[in-house]
C-alpha cells in the first residue's frame, strides 16, 4: 500500500528566500511521485513528477524535487520564493503492480510568502 | 479538447436532494477518476474508470453515491439523498498514462 506524509501543514517564508516543503512516502512498489499546487479556489496544477528516471526532477516555476530512496523522501524546493507561490501544495504517490493506480494525496502544506 | 471540463461549477442542494455532477475527460484518455476534497485539504479517492468500466471503486460510499462513464457522454457522479457532510469540491481527472493525471477545475457542492 502507498501513503504520503507531508511533514509541515504550514510553511511561511519571506519573498526571495528559499522554500522547502517536506514529503515522505511509503510504497510497496517503485512509486511515481508528484507535486501538485492548488491556488485558492482553483483546480490542481502539476508542478513536477518523478517516474524512475533522474532522481532530481525540475518542474515549472523554478521548483524542483529530489527523490531519495534511502530516506523515502521527495522534498520540494525553490531557491527564491515569489509572492505568487503562496498556495497549497500536495505531495502525491501513485504506483502498484500493473495498470494505472489511483493517486494518494498527502494532507497538503500551505505556503505563505511574506513581503 | 486538452482540458478536463466539469459542470456545474457550483451546485447547491438541500439535505436529502439529489446532486449530479458531470465530467468530460480529455479526448483519447482512457482513465477517469473522481476525488472529493473536503475542508480545502484532504483529497479522497472515490472511483476510477477505464473507458466505461469501473476500474477501482474502493472509495465510493455505495449507499448513496454512483458513477457512470458511458460512451459518447460525459462521465457523471450522482449523489442520492445528499447529506451535510457531502459538501465538498469534487474533482475529476483523466489520464492516458501512468505518470500524469489532468485535473478539472472541480465542482463545489454545498448541501444546506
Average confidence (pLDDT) over A87-109: 80
Write down the pLDDT at residue B112. Answer: 95
Query: Do A12 and A77 form a contact (C-beta atoms < 8 A)?
Result: no
Instruction: Inform me whether the pLDDT recorded for A52 exceeds 80.
Output: no
- Determine, for residues B105 and A43 on separate chains, whether the beta-carbon distance falls below 8 Å: yes
Q: What's the whole-number mean pLDDT along residues B65-74?
A: 94
pLDDT digits (tens, 9 = 90+) for B15-40: 999 999 999 999 999 999 999 998 76
What's the pLDDT score for residue B99? 65
> Which of A10, A34, A36, A43 should we substitute to test contact with B (largest number of B Cβ atoms within 10 Å)?
A43
Mean local confidence (pLDDT), A43-56: 87
Closest to B106 (Cβ–Cβ): which among A43, A102, A105? A43
Q: Would you state the pLDDT for residue A28? A: 75
Q: Which residues from B are below 8 Å from A when comparing CB atoms?
A: 31, 33, 35, 40-43, 45, 48, 50, 55-56, 59, 91, 93, 95, 97-101, 103-106
Asked if B91 lies within 8 A of A44 by C-beta distance, the reply is yes
Residue B11 reports pLDDT greater than 80 = yes
**Looking at the predicted structure, is the pLDDT value of residue A44 above 60?**
yes
The predicted pLDDT at position A106 comes to 93
Measured between CB atoms, which of B31, B41, B98 is closest to A32? B98
Higher pLDDT, A27 or B21: B21
Q: Is a pLDDT exceeding 80 seen at residue A100?
A: no
Residues of B in contact with A100 (CB under 8 A): 31, 48, 50, 55, 95, 97-98
A102 to B45: CB separation less than 8 angstroms, yes or no? yes
Pairing outcome for strands A87-94 and A64-68: unpaired
DSSP letters of A37-98? EE-TT--EEEEEEESSS-SEEE-GGG-EEEEETTTTEEEEEESS--GGG-EEEEEEEE--SS
What pLDDT does residue A95 have? 60
Nearest to A46 by CA among B48, B94, B102, B29: B102
More confident of the two residues A84 and A104: A84
Amino acid at each position: 500500500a502507498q501513503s504520503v506524509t507531508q511533514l509541515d501543514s504550514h510553511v511561511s517564508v519571506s519573498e526571495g528566500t528559499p522554500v522547502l516543503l517536506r514529503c515522505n512516502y511509503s510504497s510497496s512498489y517503485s512509486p511515481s511521485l508528484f507535486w501538485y499546487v492548488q491556488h485558492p479556489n482553483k483546480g490542481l496544477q502539476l508542478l513536477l513528477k518523478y517516474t524512475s528516471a533522474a532522481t532530481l526532477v525540475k518542474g515549472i516555476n523554478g521548483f524542483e524535487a529530489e527523490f531519495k530512496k534511502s530516506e523515502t523522501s521527495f522534498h520540494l524546493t525553490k531557491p527564491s520564493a515569489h509572492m505568487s507561490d503562496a498556495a497549497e501544495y500536495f505531495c502525491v504517490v501513485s504506483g502498484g503492480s500493473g495498470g494505472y493506480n489511483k493517486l494518494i494525496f498527502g494532507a497538503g502544506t500551505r505556503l505563505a510568502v511574506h513581503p | 479538447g486538452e482540458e478536463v471540463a466539469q459542470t456545474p461549477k457550483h451546485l447547491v442542494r438541500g439535505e436529502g436532494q439529489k446532486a449530479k455532477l458531470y465530467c468530460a475527460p480529455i479526448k483519447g484518455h482512457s482513465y477517469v477518476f473522481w476525488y472529493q476534497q473536503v475542508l480545502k485539504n484532504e483529497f479522497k479517492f472515490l472511483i476510477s474508470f477505464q473507458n466505461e468500466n469501473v476500474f477501482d471503486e474502493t472509495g465510493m460510499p455505495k449507499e448513496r453515491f454512483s458513477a457512470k462513464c458511458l460512451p459518447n457522454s460525459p462521465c457523471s457522479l450522482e449523489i442520492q439523498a445528499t447529506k451535510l457532510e457531502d459538501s465538498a469540491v469534487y474533482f475529476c481527472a483523466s489520464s492516458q498514462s501512468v505518470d500524469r493525471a489532468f485535473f478539472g477545475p472541480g465542482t463545489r457542492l454545498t448541501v444546506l
